[in-house]
Amino acid sequence: MSGMAPDPQEFASHLERLALKAVMLAEDDVPALGAFLNDLDALSDKLASAPEAAALVRQLSEAGNRLVLGEIQAPSRAVEFLGLGITLLQQWIQQGNWSQSGEEFQNYCRLSEELGLGIPAAVEAFSDPERGAAQFLDDPELLANFLTESREHLEGIETRLVYLEQNPGELSAINAIFRPFHTIKGVAGFLNLQQVQELSHEVESLLEEVRGGRLEVTSELVDAVLAGVDLLRRLLEEVEAALADTRELQSFDLAPLKERLQALRHTSAAPPRLGEILVDQGVLTPEEVNESLKDQDRREPHQPLGEILVGEGKAPAQSVAQALVQQMALARRGGEAAAPATIKVDLAKVDLLVDLMGELVIIQSQVRQNPAMAAAADQKLVRDLGQMARITSDLQRIAMSLRMVPIGATFRKMVRLVRDLSHKTGKLVSLHLEGEDTEIDRNMVETIYDPLVHLIRNAVDHGLEPPEERQAQGKAAKGELWLRAYQKGGSIVIEIEDDGRGLNREAILKRARERSLVAAGESLSPAQIDNLIFEPGFSTAKELTEVSGRGVGMDVVKQTIEHLRGKIETSSQPGKGTCFTLRLPLTLAIIDGLVIRVNDEHYILPAAGVRETVKLEARDCFTVTGRGELIRVRDQLFPLVRLHHLFGAGNGGGSPAESLALLVEHEGENRALLVDEILGKQEVVIKSLGPLFQSASGLAGATILGDGRVGLILELGGIFHLQHSQMLPGNTNLQEKQL
């Protein structure tokens, strides 16, 4: 090293702060640029004994000042140039050199020439050995954060790209696509992830041509950028694998994609120049511009054209400034809304907080229901307990909200999926996203991704018709697909709706009879026929396609939703379309339930499935051969389920008229559950039953009630299955017998 800062550790810390500022720089953020230049000036005072580093800092200062004054025609290139210069300084302080054959130095030199800055002799003469292998494992926590944020950036890029393709005139979206690439490139350079940085730079350079109005948005361009997104994902997966195995990164062949991106760049038109803009505005004549350009060539040192025009009195300073603003307008068009102030918290800590709040709710309930408290005649104690209950409830609600995230990120992943499916199937599809701000439990987000993918693939491949078929039916050639989410009561509702063919119920019923799922002559309601598509392996597809047919794998979709304590419903009209409705609980930790008594046992029944509570009379109770017991409510018959028998809670052999019946619904089927008493409604914290009982049919979990006893949480699907399996085979004709 030819020279060194007096305090290497302090110098390195200063450089690190500068590097982070360089990553976040934007060419139109003058305050941030000013702060960066101030730090750069403070750095130059420490480099008296290092001429090569001092020369580099002076050149960076010159580029930054020209950027602030608007004298650089490609401002994004200048921002990139500043970041590369800081990277070279970091190499210098860490290793005593920067490699002239290294990619950073080569890119620095290329941009320096492009910006008209040249290479200082002291910088060019400073030659060192090749830089060593990347040491990206030195800070695994920083790297893990980079991987997470980069994946989020790539998801947002995909959504905006597809939107831009559909609305090529709205170039404001380019800025929102360009900046994530710039951020990924900057941080990757800071972490010495060279291939991630290199590929991001190539894509960013292509987008810069679009920002500058020199390249049009086409499907070919969008395909190329999406290919870059896919390859970046593979590179990030390799980084993650190398981090887990603590090994060196494997290299990818970037050449084919780089050539594809560069070929698109070469089709761009020349950027508008200052003189051309002034001529178009009528401020100058072409002859006056040419005369000033010749004068510019004769001057040493090089002077910007704008300064010459103002100095010679050929153009007013205000006109030149307005022309400079117009020149940069395309690059600055658009913008992003300011993000709310946030902090990052380990998800494990949030889960622990939610669990502890659940325990607090249980203890608070036990204290309030303690007989000693009930016997106390202290009004102040009663008021204090009520205040504690309200605060506990608020804390619990806030703790639960910490684990809630907007569903928009999951929805936006479907934009790319629909675009790819549209190209693959040759169908025109317009995807509408609604309710992206709807929040859902963080633990559900990843789980519902696969069901949504499957439902959308089926909607595009088999729900929507080809353009010519739609036009023959009087429909628009482009099919409509809606993906919406909203909160209703205590549930999150997600709908996937298309305006395609609708379900072919005749074909479904025929196929079900062929597979003996429906007995010959048995009549089913439309809802029951639709539910047959959820049978394992059920399909009406006449031929296999690359995309799953409607019904294939739908049993997995249903199982996944039910695992989340949700349910899926189907609504379809032939020739008009199909809508799948997913109803999910707001959270997996707490449910609203009715506490019921069956003999001496207490159970919790999810309130969402209860439709009505009825007090029976003897004349409304019947038994039917082969159908079991039935009750009649407003001339409608409901199968009766004695929970006493299902769970062995006493004999329960008395007349139903001596008990209460809860009318419940699950997947279009209705039952009446016989209970002894309803003890009340309350929110309960769900506890796992453990590996020994978690597969028990009819049970979804357990909770601790206010009196300290354990209450089992019932699951309606399992109860219906148990009741069905206990029915004796026989004649299904209604042969009524008064009980």
- Domain-embedded: residue 316: yes
In this structure, what CATH number is given to the domain that contains residue 223? 1.20.120.160
Q: Is residue 2 part of a domain?
A: no
Name the one residue in this structure whose structure tokens are 């292998």: 133
- Taking 90 as the threshold, does the pLDDT of residue 581 lie above it? yes
414-418, 472-476, 645-649, 661-665: segment of lowest average pLDDT? 645-649
Cis peptide before 639 (omega within 30 of 0): no
Indicate if the alpha-carbon torsion angle 313, 318, 319, 325 is positive or negative: positive
Q: Which tokens go with 75? A: 């401002």
Query: Containing domain of residue 472, as a range?
Result: 406-585
Of 523, 556, 585, at which residue does a domain stop? 585
Question: Is residue 130 a part of any domain in this protein?
Answer: no
- Tens digits of residue pLDDT in 51-71: 677 778 888 888 887 887 777
CA dist 154 and 200 (Å) reads 11
Q: What is the pLDDT of residue 232?
A: 93
Distance CA 39, CA 653 (A): 85
Residue with tokens 């809606």: 482
Q: Comparing C-alpha atoms, which of 316, 328, 229, 222 is closest to residue 274?
A: 328
More confidently predicted of 737 and 606 = 606
Residues contacting 100, CB < 8 A, separation 6+: 126, 127, 128
Residue type, 103: E
Looking at the fold, whether 446 and 565 belong to one and the same domain comes out as: yes
Residues 394 and 411 occupy one common structural domain: no
Cβ 574 vs Cβ 472: under 8 Å: no
The Cα–Cα gap between 384 and 732 comes to: 60
Question: Which whole-number Å values give the CA distances from 543 to 285, 540, 546, in the listed order?
Answer: 69, 9, 10
Neighbours of 726 (CB within 10 A): 12
Instruction: State the CB neighbour count (10 A cutoff) for residue 53.
Output: 27
Q: Which residue shows structure tokens 């090529």? A: 168
- The reply to whether 414 and 558 lie within a common domain is yes
The distance from CA 354 to its chain's CA centroid, rounded to whole angstroms, is 23
Q: Dihedrals φ, ψ of 725, to 5°?
A: -70, -20
Distance CA 53, CA 214 (A): 36
Check which CATH number belongs to the domain holding 686 and give it: 2.30.30.40
Separation between Cα atoms, residue 275 and residue 289, nearest integer Å: 6
Query: For residue 386, what are the contacts with CB-CB under 8 A and spacing of at least 6?
Result: none
CA-CA distance, 153 to 188, in Å (whole number)? Answer: 13
Same domain, 157 and 257: yes
Neighbouring C-beta atoms of residue 678, cutoff 10 Å: 15
In this predicted model, which residue has the larger pLDDT, 52 or 290?
A: 290
**Are residues 286 and 310 located together in one domain of the fold?**
yes
Q: Evaluate if residue 632 carries a pLDDT over 70.
A: yes
Query: What is the per-residue pLDDT for 69?
Result: 74
Instruction: Answer for the pair 157, 196: CB distance below 8 angstroms, yes or no.
Output: no
Compute the mean pLDDT over every residue in the chain, rounded to the nearest whole number: 77
Within 547-645, strands assigned E span 567-573, 577-585, 590-598, 601-606, 610-615, 621-624, 628-633, 636-642
Domain-located, residue 337:
no
Query: Beta-strand (E) ranges in 545-586?
Result: 567-573, 577-585
- Helix pair 75-95, 8-24: axis angle to 10 deg: 160
pTM for this prediction: 0.57
Those residues whose C-beta lies under 8 Å from the C-beta of residue 299, and which sit 6 or more positions away, are: 308
Residue where a domain stops, chosen among 585, 616, 638? 585
Are 663 and 657 a contacting pair, CB within 8 Å? no
- Under 8 Å CB-to-CB from 174, ≥6 apart: which residues? 164, 207, 210, 211, 217, 333, 334
Question: Quick one: 683 and 620 in the same domain?
Answer: yes
SS3 of 304-329: the string is: CHHHHHHHCCCCCHHHHHHHHHHHHH
Asked whether residue 419 is domain-assigned, the answer is: yes
Band of pLDDT at residue 551, cut at 50, 70 and 90: very low
| Residue appearing with tokens 């003897």 | 618
For residue 466, the model assigns a pLDDT of: 93
Question: Do residue 328 and residue 412 come from a single domain?
Answer: no
Candidate from 102-116, 456-470, 560-574 with smallest mean pLDDT: 102-116
Beta bridge partners of 579: 497, 571
450 pLDDT more than 80: yes
The answer to whether 178 and 337 are in contact (CB under 8 A) is no
Domain shared by 579 and 450, yes or no: yes
Q: Which of 27-41, 267-281, 373-387, 507-521 shows the lowest mean pLDDT across its residues?
A: 267-281
pLDDT for 413 beyond 80: yes
Asked if residues 663 and 613 have their Cβ atoms less than 8 Å apart, the reply is yes
Local confidence band at 481 (pLDDT 50, 70, 90 cut-offs):
very high
Sheet strand arrangement including 710-714: 677-685, 590-598, 601-606, 710-714, 699-704
Q: What pLDDT, on the 0 to 100 scale, is given for residue 228?
A: 92
Cβ within 8 Å of residue 83, ≥6 positions away: 19, 22, 23, 25, 186, 189
Q: Write down which residue in 101, 125, 149 finishes a domain.
A: 125
Give the span between the Cα atoms of 370 and 270, in whole angstroms.
81
Q: Order of strands, edge to edge, in the sheet holding 621-624?
A: 610-615, 660-666, 669-675, 636-642, 628-633, 621-624, 737-738
Can you give the pLDDT at residue 332?
41
- Picking from 113-122, 176-185, 288-297, 437-446, which range would have the lowest pLDDT averaged per residue? 113-122
- CATH code, domain carrying 389: 1.10.287
Same domain, 528 and 485: yes
- Let me know whether 595 and 658 are in one domain: yes
3-state secondary structure of 2: coil
Least confidently predicted of 54-68, 250-264, 271-285: 271-285
Q: Say whether both 255 and 217 belong to one domain.
A: yes
CA distance 420 to 640: 50
Please say if the pLDDT value at position 494 is more than 80: yes
pLDDT in tens, 7-43: 566 777 777 778 777 777 777 777 778 778 888 877 7
Whether residue 338 lies inside any domain: the answer is no
Could you tell me if 512 and 648 lie in one domain? Answer: no
Residue 3 banded pLDDT, cuts 50, 70, 90: very low
Place of tokens 């089926």: 458
| Sole residue written with tokens 């300011």 | 338
Structural domains counted in the chain:
6
Is 339 domain-assigned?
Answer: no
Query: Which residue has 């790819």 as its token pair?
Result: 420
The answer to whether residue 340 scores a pLDDT higher than 70 is: no
Q: Quick check: is 378 in a domain?
A: yes
